[in-house]
Amino acid sequence: MILIEGLVKSYGEHQAVDGVDLSIEKGEIFALLGPNGAGKTTIVEILEGYRVADGGKVLVLGEDPAAKGRAGAALRGRIGIVLQDSSDSQDLTVLETLQHFATYYSAPRNVDELISLVNLEEKSQAKIRTLSGGQRRRLDVALGIIGQPEILFLDEPTTGFDPRARRDFWDLILALKNNGTTILLTTHYLDEAEALADRVGVIVAGKILEISTPATLGGRMKALTTVSWQSLDGQIESVESDKPTEIIRELIKKFDGEIPALSITRPSLEEIYLKMIGEK
Ligand code: ATP
């Protein structure tokens, strides 16, 4: 669905993207992770056709996203975009906005179904400027999927969402994936990447550090496991080990039953990510 080879892009002297290779398969959710200024938005906007690469090969659905004219318009009809910031007519209602954008596509989604999909039923008659940040973002997502895109680009989609709205949004994204939509996401929330992404790519200073699954990034599967429990004198004890099962076996013998306050944890994706970024 997406192929990137040797992509480079600079702004004046600053090399924002420095030789990136990446391919994304149909039906996959891929998350690009990286610190502020790493080059994520630049890559995504090149794929969307908003910015032009300086060099390298980029194909989206087999087409050049920088193509102008009919080829470019045809490609744009097959992709959906949710930008970091969007500005549209603040005085239209949610319903009017969606009805308006639906006319741009040959096979748009049903607008009423779309409003309920993004949970904006109560706000369908509200003007855009009266929406909260999270409601505004959900409208952005509705606009991104209104044309039933084959690929959906989401740039930091859940910034400003409350925890319940984020979970609802994740369910929506997973439902789109189950319907065959390919999704490229940038996010600073590592739990979001873990919940959604089949694969993640970590980018720092325009270069990809690693591409892997959330479970295996940065050697996560081989990382030491922390086992902690409450000892007989009431203290919380904690041990890091590559053989946690042995520790548990010993604890079972010692406590002869339930082990108080037992927890067994591997490093979170965020801990692994921060370590990778720190080393870089
Ligand atoms: P964030 O997580 O903060 O959104 P990002 O990874 O998306 O960051 P980009 O927006 O791609 O990063 O920016 C990469 C680098 O290129 C940054 O140093 C940024 O300042 C620079 N940059 C981006 N757009 C422009 C521009 N239009 N003109 C000049 N420099 C730019």
- Give the dihedral of Cα atoms 216, 217, 219, 224; nearest 10 deg: -80
* Residue type for position 207: K
pLDDT at 34: 94
Q: Which residue is it, tokens 């496991």?
A: 225
Angle (deg, nearest 10), helices 94-102 and 133-145: 20
pLDDT at 280: 64
Model confidence at 94: pLDDT above 90:
yes
What's the gap in Å between 273 CA and the centre of ligand 1? 20
CB-based burial, 64-88: b 16+ in 10 Å, e otherwise: ebeeeeeeeeebbbebbbbbeeeee
Give the residue, out of 10, 15, 40, 154, with the most ligand 1 atoms within 8 A of its beta carbon, to mutate for a pocket test: 40
What's the gap in Å between 207 CA and the centre of ligand 1? 13
Q: Which atom of ligand 1 is nearest to the CA of 32?
A: 6
Tens of pLDDT, residues 135-187? 888 898 899 999 999 999 998 888 878 888 889 889 989 999 998 999 999 99
Per cent of the chain over pLDDT 90 is: 65
Whole-number Å distance between alpha carbons of 98 and 64: 28
What's the gap in Å between 82 CA and the centre of ligand 1? 17
In this structure, which residue's CA is closest to atom 12 in ligand 1? 37
Tens of pLDDT, residues 240-249? 998 999 999 9
| E strand or H helix that includes residue 209 | strand 207-212
Model confidence at 84: pLDDT above 80:
no
pLDDT at 82: 81
Tens of pLDDT, residues 269-280? 999 999 988 876
Per cent of the chain over pLDDT 70 is: 98
Model confidence at 104: pLDDT above 90:
no
Q: Residue 15 half-sphere exposure, CB side, CA atoms within 13 Å?
A: 10
Tens of pLDDT, residues 34-73? 999 999 999 999 999 989 999 999 999 999 998 877 777 8
Model confidence at 86: pLDDT above 80:
no
What's the gap in Å between 201 CA and the centre of ligand 1? 17
pLDDT at 193: 95
Query: Within 10 Å of residue 17's Cβ, how many Cβ atoms?
Result: 27
- Cross-strand partners of 41: none
Residue ranges lining ligand 1, Cβ < 6 Å: 11, 14, 16, 34, 36-42
Sheet holding 55-60, edge to edge: 14-24, 2-11, 55-60
Among 4-13, 40-49, 86-95, 175-184, the range scoring the smallest mean pLDDT is 86-95
pTM, rounded to two decimals: 0.88
pLDDT at 61: 94
Q: Which residue is it, tokens 């391919």?
A: 23
Rg of the chain over Cα atoms, rounded to whole angstroms, equals 22
- Cross-strand partners of 59: 3
Residue 40, token pair as written in the block: 């994520």
Model confidence at 75: pLDDT above 90:
no
Residue 48, token pair as written in the block: 């969307």
| E strand or H helix that includes residue 126 | none
pLDDT at 239: 93
Q: Which atom of ligand 1 is nearest to the CA of 51?
A: 27
Q: Are strands 236-241 and 225-230 parallel, antiparallel or unpaired?
A: antiparallel
48, 79 Cβ separation under 8 angstroms: yes
pLDDT category of residue 83 using cuts at 50, 70 and 90 = confident
What's the gap in Å between 39 CA and the centre of ligand 1? 6
pLDDT at 69: 76
Model confidence at 224: pLDDT above 90:
no
Tens of pLDDT, residues 114-137? 999 888 999 999 999 999 888 888
Residue-averaged pLDDT of the chain = 90
3-state secondary structure of 208: strand
Q: Which of 166, 102, 92 is nearest to 130 (CA)?
A: 92
pLDDT at 88: 66
Give the residue, out of 8, 14, 273, with the most ligand 1 atoms within 8 A of its beta carbon, to mutate for a pocket test: 14
**Hey, what domains does the chain have and what are their CATH numbers?**
2-215 (3.40.50.300), 219-279 (no CATH)
208, 201 Cβ separation under 8 angstroms: yes
